[in-house]
């Protein structure tokens, strides 16, 4: 970019241009400015009140109403109003709509307080005006890949975008855009972005997508096999549709594809031949299953009673397994989030604020945990330590914790390793473990900077303990 171009973009008069003083009521904000909120201008207003405006605003020629539209200098204009100025210095520049959008985006794009959605809208505006991603990249100093990422964010449904917190990161917004084919989950992710619930919400959305693909595989198998699909209740997937008996059940918790399992079973069990395929699709593995069905045989009263009794036993067993799987699925998800936080801490050069409180709460959790689990040895705890700190770090029981500034971090990681090694997938169903171990453990995690999701808080309040 030439010096002259640079001067023009910064609001200085270029060749053939001059600076004029315009009354504030003859300058209006540009409705297409990507920055919806100019932020706090108190300091800038104080500076302008003391020293005046040091850099002219850039405006378009006056319209039929005699008012100029602002192109560059929205914060200066807001500060000038706050400072009580009546006139502002302006460069009047005849630029088309595309160039206006470009100049406004360039002015704001490298500011830290420009929200990702605002920047994305700026690029989308230029795209609508006919500018391609490569040109936008050259004009704004961004890479073409970055511009395309911003354009992807701009594609999020406006209704979903209205739910997004200003604290949402660009990576979160891109993930939200990826769920355009799942509107309900896109909405849930939009509400969770920028909050402590994001990681748990994303894990659930990923699982729901996996369940949807699992069900698609089942439907393809049904189509290839000529079997009608009978929709089953996702909240009570163990209930067999009326008029049928269960031949074979495949759940989403299994390994391999459901079609492979179903083909294998029918190949080895040609009689009786399935008449239909029951399908329940939920957001979790315990809700999602495929059932090969055969017509219930007509029989006498004794036979009907026997079948009803058998069916009831199967329903009760499936319901128990579903409740157990629900808590275990949560246990796996929450453990992944805790260990991700542990790895984050292990990579820090110095302990975060609150580490002293975190260690105090951890000591309480360790004491209670030791009373509950006397079998945890170095091998069990060492395996979790390797996951947190890396195998090369060596279990501190033998190597020691050292004495440098990271002592607190290593001590915390060692305590976490011991606790996590003794927590099984049924920990959230025990009132004693939740109250005596998980509660102080989560207090220590929160003190160390861990963001506790609303699902975890519900579990800490006994959400799963009714299954004792």
pLDDT digits (tens, 9 = 90+) for 210-267: 999 999 999 999 999 999 999 998 888 888 888 888 889 898 887 789 999 999 998 8
| Half-sphere exposure (Cβ direction) of 98: Cα atoms closer than 13 Å | 10
Question: How far is 68 from 22, CA to CA, in rounded Å?
Answer: 9
Letter string b/e over residues 442-463, b meaning 16 or more CB atoms within 10 A of that residue's CB = bbbbbbbbbebbebbeebbeeb
Indicate the domain borders of the chain: 3-95, 115-199, 221-297, 324-467
CA dihedral sign of residues 108, 113, 118, 120: positive
- Using an 8 Å Cβ cutoff, are 197 and 176 in contact? no
Please say whether the beta carbons of 92 and 52 come within 8 A. Answer: no
- The CATH number of the structural domain formed by 115-199 is 1.10.10.2830
Q: How many CB atoms lie within 10 A of CB 308?
A: 10
The pair of structure tokens assigned to 410 is 């290593």
Please count the other Cβ atoms lying within 10 Å of the Cβ belonging to residue 309: 10
**In degrees, to the nearest 5, what angle opens at C-alpha 54 toward C-alphas 65 and 92?**
30
Cβ(230)–Cβ(241) under 8 Å?
A: yes
Q: What is the second-level CATH architecture of the domain 3-95?
A: Alpha-Beta Complex (3.90)
- The answer to whether residues 117 and 161 touch, using CB atoms and an 8 Å cutoff, is yes
Q: What pLDDT is attached to residue 284?
A: 83
What is the pLDDT at residue 183?
92
Low-confidence ranges of the chain (pLDDT < 50): 1-10, 398-403, 468
Is-contact 114 34, C-beta < 8 A? yes
- Beta-ladder partners of 248: 292
Looking up tokens 């060749």 gives 15
pLDDT of residue 5: 41
Give pLDDT tens digits for 36-53.
Answer: 677 777 888 888 888 888
Per the structure block, which two tokens stand in for 69?
């539209």
Alpha-helical runs (H) found in 282-377: 301-346, 355-372
* Cis upstream peptide for 399 (omega within 30°): no
Same fold, 3-95 and 115-199: no
Nearest to 200 by CA among 336, 326, 328: 336
pTM, 2 dp: 0.66
Q: Are 246 and 280 in contact (CB under 8 A)?
A: no
What pLDDT is stored for residue 65 in this prediction?
87
> Quick one: pLDDT at residue 231?
93
SS3 content of the chain, % helix, strand, coil (to 5): 55, 10, 35
With H, G, I as helix, E, B as strand and everything else as coil, classify residue 58.
strand
Say if strands 229-231 and 244-251 run parallel, antiparallel, or are unpaired.
unpaired
Give the separation between CA 19 and CA 324, rounded to whole angstroms: 74
């Amino acid at each position: 970019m030439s010096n002259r171009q640079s001067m023009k973009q910064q609001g200085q008069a270029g060749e053939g241009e001059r600076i004029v003083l315009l009354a504030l009521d003859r300058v209006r904000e540009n409705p297409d400015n990507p920055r919806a909120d100019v932020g706090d201008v108190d300091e800038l207003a104080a500076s302008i009140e003391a020293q005046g405006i040091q850099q002219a605003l850039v405006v378009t020629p006056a319209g039929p109403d005699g008012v100029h539209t602002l192109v560059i200098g929205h914060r200066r204009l807001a500060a000038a109003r706050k400072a009580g100025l009546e006139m502002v210095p302006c460069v009047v520049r005849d630029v088309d709509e595309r160039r206006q959008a470009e100049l406004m985006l360039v002015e704001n794009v490298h500011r830290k307080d420009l929200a990702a959605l605002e920047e994305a809208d700026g690029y989308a505006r230029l795209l609508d005006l006919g500018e391609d991603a490569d040109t936008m990249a050259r004009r704004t100093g961004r890479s073409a890949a970055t511009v395309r990422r911003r354009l992807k964010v701009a594609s999020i449904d406006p209704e979903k975008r209205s739910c997004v917190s200003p604290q949402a990161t660009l990576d979160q917004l891109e993930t939200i855009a990826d769920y355009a084919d799942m509107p309900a989950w896109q909405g849930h992710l939009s509400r969770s972005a920028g909050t402590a619930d994001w990681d748990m919400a994303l894990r659930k959305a990923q699982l729901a997508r996996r369940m949807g693909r699992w069900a698609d595989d089942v439907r393809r198998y049904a189509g290839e096999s000529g079997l009608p699909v009978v929709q089953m209740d996702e909240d009570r997937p163990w209930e067999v549709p009326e008029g049928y008996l269960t031949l074979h059940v495949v759940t989403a918790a299994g390994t391999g594809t459901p079609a492979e399992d179903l083909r294998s079973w029918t190949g080895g069990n040609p009689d009786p031949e399935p008449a239909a395929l029951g399908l329940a699709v939920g957001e979790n593995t315990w809700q999602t299953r495929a059932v090969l069905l055969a017509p219930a045989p007509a029989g006498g009263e004794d036979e009907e009673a026997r079948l009803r009794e058998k069916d009831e036993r199967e329903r009760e067993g499936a319901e128990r397994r579903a409740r157990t799987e629900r808590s275990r699925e949560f246990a796996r998800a929450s453990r992944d989030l805790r260990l991700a936080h542990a790895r984050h801490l292990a990579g820090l050069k110095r302990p975060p604020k609150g580490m002293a409180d975190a260690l105090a709460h951890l000591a309480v959790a360790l004491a209670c945990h030791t009373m509950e689990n006397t079998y945890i040895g170095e091998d069990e705890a060492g395996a979790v330590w390797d996951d947190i700190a890396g195998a090369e770090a060596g279990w501190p029981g033998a190597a020691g914790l050292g004495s440098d500034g990271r002592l607190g971090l290593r001590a915390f990681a060692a305590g976490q390793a011991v606790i996590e090694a003794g927590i099984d997938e049924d920990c959230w169903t025990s009132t004693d473990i939740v109250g005596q171990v998980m509660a102080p453990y989560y207090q220590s995690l929160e003190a160390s900077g861990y963001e506790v999701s609303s699902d975890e808080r519900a579990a800490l309040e006994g959400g799963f303990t009714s299954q004792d």
